Amino acid sequence: MAKGKVFSVLAAVLCGMLPAGVALAQPAEIAAMAPPAPDYADAANWAAGPAGPGAAAALPAGASAAAVNSPADVFYLHPTTDRSPTLWNQDTRDAASNRWVDESTIARQASVFSACCAIYAPRYRAATYKALGSAAHRDAAYALAYTDVERAFDWFLKNVSKGRPFIIAGHSQGAKHVGDLLEKRVEGTPLRKRMVAAYIIGINIAEGEFGRRFKQTGPCNTPAQTGCVLQWNALAAGANLPMVAGAFEKSFTDVYGQVPGQQMLCINPVTFDARRPAATTDEAKGAVPGDPGTGPMLPLRAKAVAVQCQRGMAMTYAMPGLDLKELPGGSLHYEDVALFYEDIRANAVVRVKAWGRGRR
């Protein structure tokens, strides 16, 4: 298969794009095969939260300390992790599946928020790789997963948040659900005043969706702005930018047509400043080396990446020795968080403090 075709398939999976003319599976088919819905009153159905931070307590050597008596909460949604050859949606009762979620994402992504927030990460019936690879089943599997997300969020609001400021955050599939949560449950409600920010990482939100899909919430244009959205998609330097950006932009034009705003939102994950779309290695606070997966995180490496937003993509120049897992088309999707671990960590603290100052 040609490299361009490989990337097109990958982009469809990462971006949740449904090619025109493909019929959706009947929701009944997905529901009939779905594992039981998790009960969020049971602490076992949280990877981090009611019973403590769990794997989210992990930190790489060199990271800033976790907060004591956190002033805010984060509601975090993990990306696609389940490689089941038979299930369309992840079984939250499966111990091996949960262990992989914890080691590969809760420890390596959710933990980034422990300097600012108490972490709440529900286990949910996420669409599996099998579902994401089937255009006829993908959206129905996503829809079932989202029902869990809303129920977990409701439990979080009723039993935990209770007026406290919160961040909503996720990566890849988790980011898709965070975007839907922002659109359907936060915008137009009093919750919007309590939302510190939405970190919607590694997915396909275009600039033109602000004012269309998101009518009240805009991008985070400055490092201390609150009530706003952050997104980036890391791409290796030397990748075919027109091909990659074009694949992402198609997810916008398929919905809205050939109108302005097709470019993806890219908030530089080192500067966090729309006026400074490029950052040098001297500014980068710390990346986690290695292929995200099992085992403890390797020590942070400061000044290891430079990054520049170009045509909506976070073009990343990595120092040797980071041992990155580059995907077809030059995507650094698996490292969207790890490359900027301490930078995100510090920025979340800044935003929570800014939210507090704004409410005095």
Answer whether residue 12 is part of any domain: no
Answer whether residue 132 is part of any domain: yes
* pLDDT one-digit tens code per residue, 167-179: 999 999 999 999 9
Answer whether residue 148 is part of any domain: yes
What's the confidence (pLDDT) of residue 17? 40
Is the pLDDT higher at 84 or at 20? 84
What's the confidence (pLDDT) of residue 19? 35
Confidence of residue 360 (pLDDT cuts 50, 70, 90): low
Answer whether residue 108 is part of any domain: yes
Angle at the Cα of 239 (from 63 to 308), degrees rounded to 5? 50
- The domain tally of the chain equals 1
Answer whether residue 3 is part of any domain: no
Domain containing residue 140:
35-358
Confidence of residue 6 (pLDDT cuts 50, 70, 90): very low
Is the pLDDT higher at 248 or at 1? 248
For residue 1, is pLDDT > 70?
no
* pLDDT one-digit tens code per residue, 225-247: 999 999 999 999 989 999 999 99
Answer whether residue 186 is part of any domain: yes
Answer whether residue 44 is part of any domain: yes
Answer whether residue 30 is part of any domain: no
Q: Is the pTM of this model over 0.85?
A: yes
Runs of H (alpha helix) within the chain: 3-15, 27-33, 95-101, 129-132, 138-156, 173-181, 191-194, 241-256, 341-358
Distances (CA, A) of 3 to 11, 179, 327, 331: 12, 30, 11, 12
Instruction: Look up residue 164 and give its amino acid.
Output: R
| Average of per-residue pLDDT values in the chain | 92
